[in-house]
């Protein structure tokens, strides 16, 4: 197992919000630091790795304690809950579609409900992809969501359903 | 030391590690876990901010001091100066 892989595994000890925010950067910094230490010899690398892995274990423990003892409004200043944030490219209407779904779906045909659920699911996946810095994935979900949205509109027109419930939420 | 390092110019994670090491003549070698834990706390206190760099370097995310952070750094430097002055004065009194 390469040291970078071991480092990646240890990063999983951190809270999810911390990982989403810092994981990519930490990996990059670690890789560059390893490259630099390799020039100094084997002993320097070994010493560096012991310090790094110990630091990660201590850091992860400290972060969990901090997460459990800090109010989320304070923690949110640096680690915003990305699941709660509306990405700039997503309209309010689409973003709040999931919340409006329950209120509006009770009397709708199964086909429409299914399309609405698909829109919500794609939004959720897109947000998760953004949280994990998977931007190509997020774009793919965004495209799929646009298509699902168009399909939903078509169905709403077919069943003559007024989607003003969603507009009210936007 | 992170604030001091950022006082000169915005830096990314690895650059901070290297700069802190050179600032302390190699005595302080932060691990990435320690560095990013400290960065998280500084971000939470709004002493530093993260931004995306436009250049083509490998690291896109960088950190810079906020006005509050700069003020804190000045206050900390003043505190250290005062401590040094007091220590020097006491040593002189004892030697005299």
Q: What is the tens place of the pLDDT at every residue in B4-55?
A: 888 888 888 888 888 888 888 888 888 888 899 899 888 888 888 888 877 6
Which of A:58-117 have CB within 8 Å of B?
Answer: 58-60, 62-63, 66, 70, 74-75, 77-79
How near does any CA of chain A get to the CA of B41, in Å? Answer: 8
In chain B, which residues have their Cβ closer than 8 Å to the Cβ of A52? 31-33
What ipTM does this complex have?
0.73
pLDDT digits (tens, 9 = 90+) for A44-86: 888 888 988 888 888 888 888 888 887 666 666 666 665 566 6
| Distance spanning both ends of chain B, measured CA to CA | 35
For residues A161 and A133, what is the distance between their CA atoms, to the nearest angstrom? 37
Mutate to test the interface with A, among B33, B45, B63 (most CBs of A within 10 A): B33
How near does any CA of chain B get to the CA of A32, in Å? Answer: 7
For residue B46, what is the nearest residue in chain A, using CA coordinates? A77
Q: Phi and psi of A109, rounded to 5°?
A: -65, 155
Q: State the pLDDT confidence band at A25, using cuts at 50, 70 and 90.
A: confident
Structural contact between residues A129 and A141, judged by C-beta atoms closer than 8 angstroms: yes
For residue B41, what is the nearest residue in chain A, using CA coordinates? A78
pLDDT of residue B8: 84
For residues B12 and B47, what is the distance between their CA atoms, to the nearest angstrom? 16
In chain A, which residues have their Cβ closer than 8 Å to the Cβ of B34? 55, 58-59
Burial of residue A141 (number of CB atoms within 10 Å: 0-12, 13-18, 19+): buried
Helix (H) or strand (E) holding B30: none
DSSP string, A97-156: HHHHHHHH-TTS-HHHHHHHHHHHHHHHHHHHHHHTT-HHHHHHHHHHHHHHHHHHHHHH
Minimal Cβ distance to B32: which of A52, A77, A79: A52
For residues A121 and A98, what is the distance between their CA atoms, to the nearest angstrom? 9
Q: Is the pLDDT of residue A18 over 50?
A: yes
Question: Which tokens belong to A27?
Answer: 């990996």
In chain B, which residues have their Cβ closer than 8 Å to the Cβ of A18? 40
Considering only residues A104 and A133, tell me which one the structure prediction assigns the higher pLDDT: A133
Q: State the pLDDT confidence band at A165, using cuts at 50, 70 and 90.
A: very low
Which of B:16-75 have CB within 8 Å of A?
Answer: 17, 29-37, 39-41, 43-44, 46, 58-59, 61
For residue A70, what is the nearest residue in chain B, using CA coordinates? B44
pLDDT of residue B85: 92
Instruction: Check CB contact under 8 Å for B36 and A74.
Output: no
For residues B43 and B79, what is the distance between their CA atoms, to the nearest angstrom? 22
Question: Which tokens belong to A166?
Answer: 């969603």
Instruction: Check CB contact under 8 Å for B58 and A28.
Output: yes
Question: Which tokens belong to A4?
Answer: 């970078």
- Listed in order, strand segments (DSSP E) in B1-96 are 48-52, 61-65
């Amino acid at each position: 197992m390469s040291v970078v892989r071991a480092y990646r595994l240890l990063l999983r000890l951190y809270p999810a919000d911390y990982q989403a925010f810092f994981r990519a950067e930490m990996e990059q910094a670690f890789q560059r630091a390893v490259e630099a230490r390799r020039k100094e010899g084997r002993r320097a690398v070994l010493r560096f790795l012991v310090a790094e892995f110990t630091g990660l274990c201590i850091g992860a423990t400290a972060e969990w304690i901090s997460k459990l003892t800090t109010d989320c409004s304070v923690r949110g200043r640096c680690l915003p809950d990305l699941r709660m944030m509306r990405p700039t490219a997503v309209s309010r209407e689409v973003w709040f579609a999931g919340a409006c779904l329950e209120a509006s779906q009770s009397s709708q045909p199964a086909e429409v409900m299914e399309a609405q659920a698909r829109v919500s699911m794609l939004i959720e996946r897109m947000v998760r992809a953004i949280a994990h810095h998977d931007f190509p994935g997020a774009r793919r979900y965004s495209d799929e969501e646009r298509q699902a949205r168009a399909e939903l509109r078509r169905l709403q027109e077919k069943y003559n359903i007024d989607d003003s419930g969603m507009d009210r939420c936007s | 030391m992170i604030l001091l390092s950022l006082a000169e110019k915005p830096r990314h994670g690895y650059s901070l590690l290297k700069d802190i090491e050179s600032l302390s003549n190699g005595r302080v070698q932060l691990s990435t876990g320690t560095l990013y834990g400290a960065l998280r706390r500084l971000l939470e206190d709004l002493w530093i901010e993260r931004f995306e760099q436009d250049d083509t370097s490998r690291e896109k995310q960088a950190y810079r001091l906020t006005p509050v952070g700069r003020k804190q750094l000045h206050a900390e430097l003043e505190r250290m100066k005062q401590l040094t002055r007091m220590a020097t004065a006491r040593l002189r009194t004892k030697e005299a």
